[in-house]
Amino acid sequence: MKSPLRPGDPASLGGYRLLARLGEGGMGSVFLGRRDDGPLVAIKMIKPEYAHDEEFRGRFRSEVKRAWQVPPFCTAAVLDADPDHRTPYLVVEYVDGPSLDEVVAHEGPLADSRLHGVAVGVATALTAIHGAGVIHRDLKPQNVLFALGTPKVIDFGIARALEVTSQHTHPDQMVGTVAYMAPERFDGDHRDITPAADVFAWGAVIAYAGTGRTPFRADSPVATAARILTQPPDLTGLTGPLADLVALALSKVPEDRPTAHELLNLLLAQNTGSGAIGRPLREAAEAAQLSGRHVSGAGLRPEPRGGRRRTWAIIAAATAVTLLAAGVGLFSRRNLEPTAQPLPALTTMPVPGAVRGPWVVDALDRPGQWRAATDDYGGRCSFKNGLAMTTPSFAMVCPGTTRSFAGDQSISVDVSLDNARSCAEVQFRSAGDSSYWLDLCPRVIRIRHEGAVRNTTVGSAEQALFAPGKRRAVVLSVRDEVASVSVDGAVVLERKLTDPSLPAGKVAFGVGPTDEAKDQDAPAGAHVTRAEIRPIEDAVPSSAGTVPPFTDVRRGNTKSIVKVHGYFPKARSVVVEPVLFMTGDEYCDTFKVKSTSDAPCEQAWLTEDSRMVVTLPTSAAPRLTSTFDDPGRCAGDPVTVGTCAIGPEKLAERLGNNGLVEVTTTNGIVTAMADVYVP
């Protein structure tokens, strides 16, 4: 819930302009902010009393570094931090949606696919968090937010910095909310909390989501703690396999609980019937399953008793095999309202259009999905003749899309080097502290694997293709775990990838010195343009031919509904995702869905995401209209598109992330945007 800044609140912090308050907790205050023309972000500013403690700063610095490695699978991505600021702060993705406790308070307990979706989403987040070696420590309904109905977990990775600083914690104090704390957390001598405590919190959160009450509810925090330590959970109202999983997660003994990874495997095995989840959430869950290290606390706690841990590993493995054999492929359709009841899965629904994503397109000629930045060593990412990357000595990576790409994929980009001491670099399948790298140097092309323990060369080719100033078209494709590199259409290197634990991850572009120049502190530079990252699909189902495709906003003159992921007026750019937007009747007529009481036909408006995100240029003065201030006067017929003029800065702030607009383009340049109003 946003509220105005208070007297005494800073107007800015670390270059971010503070716009409103989002909340306040034991560690500090959370603000809504923005840097220049960037997206809205959430900024957590630490309280002054902790800022003066060097032990706290050290812990904060360490935990932030770990949190930065958490992949964005159902989590709010960590974007920036400054542990050395006068008041240390952390910047994360702003999730514009209600929290789980707000949803339950206003709408009552969740059920069926909606409850199962929350269970999968939170387990996906914990799998990603634990896989990066982080423990949340304060998982609760207030830290589960909904972005267009999809759950995202926030506030992970920094609670330990406070909890282990003895000056600020006492025998009767700890970080967290009592109702969601595992029994071992009440042991005054037990300071070595493991990821199993988060799994216990997952059980308590899902019990609350499904029943509207916590499973150990009592009249006071002390009485609640006593029930957690001595009594079984009250799960009245939960039924079926999900109730069994919640009960297992709430086991008193940490070793008797499944890990987050095992939990996610078992939840996905239940992804049928009333428990089916939508495609975006399912893909995030499957990517989380295949990335990271899936930390279970091994090495931090005693061996499990009676072989229970081994039993869970066997169950999880069997579940994974079952999922692969079944080829789960269910889809669900979302209503536009972020907290509306999800629609049932439609097993016969064809994939609409030709885009199956995730798919990223960016000319890299202006801020959009990539942005300007500098690093601590003088490296710089800027926009001049494309994305210009320079570094005085050490290799650097430019911040870009936070999307994760799994399976067969293609990465294409145009590359040129500034001098003979430079190598352009493509980082791919980056998850946690592991990734692959493609080095494009004046005399060699190389694929490397960088792991948590060691770095290895997967393959290299002596090719003098990248003379300074010569622009080359590079395509890196990965199919069936074989990476192939082509330059100007000719294959120059092909090698089998070596790490089976890295089937998915982020993509980034960077620059570094050649091997010969690494010890010379010689500056390196490179330019990249026309980036496109997409899945490799063998074919689109023939049934999709009867479905209207998504509008290709990159070409020609178009008018269509898109989802806005970021609008940057000063840079004259907007990041959009084409969607299908239609009434329930139109939707069911198009997709040949029979009208029933729970079908999409009964919905007022429906969207289908393309998952293709494109950065478009805007004209110098695009026509911008809105309904925000007065929908009754400014909503056009049929009450969907805004008609009243609005300024670019105000529209950018109001749209935030995932706002819907009607966009008009002329030869791929945006000339008008009108926000979409859904009553």
Q: Which residues are catalytic?
A: 138
Burial tier of 472 (Cβ tally within 10 Å: 0-12, 13-18, 19+)? middle
Q: How far apart are CA 644 and CA 627, in angstroms?
A: 6
Instruction: Measure Cα distances from 210 to 214, 243, 244, 277, 430 in Å.
Output: 10, 9, 13, 16, 35
Q: What is the 3-state secondary structure (H, E, C) of 117-155?
A: HHHHHHHHHHHHHHHCCCCCCCCCHHHEEEECCEEEECC
Residue closest to 561 by CA, chosen among 620, 605, 619: 605
Q: How far apart are CA 277 and CA 159, in angstroms?
A: 31
Measured N-to-C along each axis, helices 260-269 and 112-131 cross at an angle, to the nearest 10 degrees, of 150
What are residue 388's DSSP bridge partners? 382, 527
Burial tier of 173 (Cβ tally within 10 Å: 0-12, 13-18, 19+)? exposed
Cα-only R_g, the chain: 25
Residue pointed to by tokens 């003895």: 166
Q: How far apart are CA 60 and CA 46, in angstroms?
A: 10
Cβ count within 10 A of residue 195: 28
Residue closest to 277 by CA, chosen among 203, 350, 342: 342
Q: Half-sphere exposure (CA, 13 Å, Cβ side) for 472?
A: 28
What are residue 413's DSSP bridge partners? 474
Say whether 323 sits in a helix, a strand or coil: helix
**What are the E-state strand segments in 25-177?**
28-34, 41-46, 78-82, 89-93, 144-147, 150-153
- Residue 505 · residue 404 · CB < 8 Å: yes
First-to-final CA distance of the chain: 21
The sign of the dihedral angle between the CA atoms of 212, 215, 218, 223 is negative
Upstream peptide bond of 241 is cis (omega within 30 degrees of 0)? no
Q: How far apart are CA 668 and CA 450, in angstroms?
A: 38
Joined tokens for residue 119: 């269970």
Residue closest to 154 by CA, chosen among 185, 113, 122, 178: 122
Say whether 270 sits in a helix, a strand or coil: coil
Q: How far apart are CA 413 and CA 508, in angstroms?
A: 11
Flag whether 496 is marked binding.
no
Backbone angles phi, psi at 487, to 5 degrees: -125, 120
Residue closest to 180 by CA, chosen among 124, 242, 100: 100
Backbone angles phi, psi at 355, to 5 degrees: -95, 130
Residue pointed to by tokens 């995401």: 609
- Beta 612-626 vs 359-362: how paired, if at all? parallel
Q: How far apart are CA 648 and CA 489, in angstroms?
A: 41
Cβ count within 10 A of residue 589: 13
- Residue 274 · residue 266 · CB < 8 Å: no
Residue closest to 207 by CA, chosen among 339, 110, 93: 110
Q: Half-sphere exposure (CA, 13 Å, Cβ side) for 622?
A: 29
User: Residue ranges for the binding site for ATP?
Assistant: 44
